[in-house]
Amino acid sequence: PPSAAALEVRGLSVGYGPVRALREVSLDVPAGAVVAVLGGNGAGKSTLLRAISRTLGYHRGAVTAGTVSYGGRDLHGAGAARAVAAGIVQVPEGRQVFARMTVADNLRAGALGATGGRTATRAALAHVHELFPVLADRARQHAGLLSGGEQQMLALGRALMSGPKLLMLDEPSLGLAPLMAARIAETIQQINATGTSVLLVEQNAALALRLASTAYVLDVGEVALHGPAAELAASDEVRRRYLGVV
């Protein structure tokens, strides 16, 4: 797989019209790392991912200050297609698979922005089928017929089809039973082990802090805490507010 580069977010502010969703957020994803972003509803987690994947415009949002760069290159002015070409791929919250298309066609759609050509696409498909054999078994079924966990696998598989260097996951465990969430977590580790960096947004702080080396806590659009995941997992504030420990 292509080698990962470092993502640098500096002083990023984002607004949706008059709504200020992010204020001067700075964050790093070192090459090959898993970094987690925690925070409650409306903290700005999805907004951060949209700013990085250059999809804010589809949600009528705009960057009002700050920079996002990947591998030392400023993504200012880049569209979503260029972010994908640079190796940055987002799996949106709620999976958003194409329900009336087959599993195979969903995966093919994931290769549309890829730059590697047919051989790379074939290798990516083999890798996805190895990670998720169920997607090979169900290739001809409509994606809408899959279970929630299988749809999350398909959303992950679709994202892997373009051979991403940085995979951004928005709440991959949302709505999944604990066993299935654990299975997805294991897969995220396997994907990272092949050299892909991961930026993981989660309300499931326990799961995210287990996977990540570094974590950030967003609170009403600002970075309230950040540091090594093990340190955050031990902090009283994180334990009380995000891990449900009283």
- The residue (of 61 and 163) whose beta carbon lies closer to ligand ATP is 61
Q: Is 76 in the site for ligand ATP (CB under 6 A)?
A: no
Q: Is 19 in the site for ligand ATP (CB under 6 A)?
A: yes
Q: Which residues of 110-147 are buried (b: 16+ CB within 10 A; e: fewer)?
A: bbebbeeeeebbeebbebbbebbebbbebeeebbeebe
C-alpha 51/C-alpha 66 separation (Å) is 11
C-alpha 96/C-alpha 122 separation (Å) is 23
Tell me which residue has tokens 């920079």. 67
- The residue (of 46 and 162) whose beta carbon lies closer to ligand ATP is 46
- The residue (of 56 and 135) whose beta carbon lies closer to ligand ATP is 56
Residue 76: other Cβ atoms inside 10 A:
11
Q: Is 21 in the site for ligand ATP (CB under 6 A)?
A: yes
Residue 36 sits at φ, ψ, to 5 deg, of -110, 145
Q: Do the Cβ atoms of 8 and 44 come closer than 8 Å?
A: no
Residue 104, SS3 per DSSP: helix
Q: Do the Cβ atoms of 17 and 61 come closer than 8 Å?
A: no
Work out how close the CB of 193 gets to ligand ATP at its nearest, in angstroms, rounded to a whole number.
27
Work out how close the CB of 26 gets to ligand ATP at its nearest, in angstroms, rounded to a whole number.
17
Beta pairing class for 34-38 and 197-202: parallel
- The residue (of 41 and 119) whose beta carbon lies closer to ligand ATP is 41
- The residue (of 38 and 103) whose beta carbon lies closer to ligand ATP is 38
Work out how close the CB of 110 gets to ligand ATP at its nearest, in angstroms, rounded to a whole number.
23
Residue window 168-207: x/- pattern of binding to ligand ATP, with contact defined by CB under 6 A: ----------------------------------------
Q: Is 96 in the site for ligand ATP (CB under 6 A)?
A: no
Q: Is 45 in the site for ligand ATP (CB under 6 A)?
A: yes
Provide the residue type at 173 as one letter. S
Among 2, 42, 133, 195, binds ligand ATP (CB under 6 A): 42
Work out how close the CB of 220 gets to ligand ATP at its nearest, in angstroms, rounded to a whole number.
8
Q: Which residues of 222-234 are buried (b: 16+ CB within 10 A; e: fewer)?
A: ebebbeebeebbe
Write out the residues near ligand ATP by the rule CB under 6 A. 16, 19, 21, 39, 41-47, 59-60
